[in-house]
Amino acid sequence: MKTQSAYKLGWIGIRSERTGMAWPFLKRQGWMRSTPAQLNNRNAFNFIRPCRTHEEFLALDVKRLASLGMVGIAFWITDAQWGKNAPITDKQWEERRVIE
């Protein structure tokens, strides 16, 4: 059961180049600010939201974030990937959400 949930739930991560006024909005939505994303770390995000389904990632309002001045990309990774610090897969890269 635990293994199954590790692949159904995951983290939404946003790697931002510019935040604009999006942080107060994200904070109200339950996001956490992470350490600054390092360019050489594929799993480094500026903002994270744990325990989210893939459907919640697909429903992420990137237009709203862009209207608040954010520029970046969002990914969804599984709990299993996060725990093992496994890199983002090619499929996840293709599913990324661009915020601009």
| 66 has a pLDDT exceeding 90 | yes
Lowest model confidence (mean pLDDT) among 8-12, 24-28, 96-100? 8-12
Domain chopping of the chain, boundaries:
2-99
Over the stretch 18-58, which tens digit does the pLDDT of each residue have?
A: 999 999 999 999 999 987 766 666 677 899 998 899 999 99
What does the mean pLDDT of the chain come to? 86
Q: How far is CA 71 from CA 15, 81, 99, in A?
A: 9, 25, 5
Residue type, 8: K
Specify the pLDDT at position 1: 41
What would the two tokens of residue 95 be?
Answer: 């599913």
Classify residue 87 by its DSSP letter: P
CA pair distance 5, 83, nearest whole angstrom: 13
CA pair distance 91, 70, nearest whole angstrom: 24
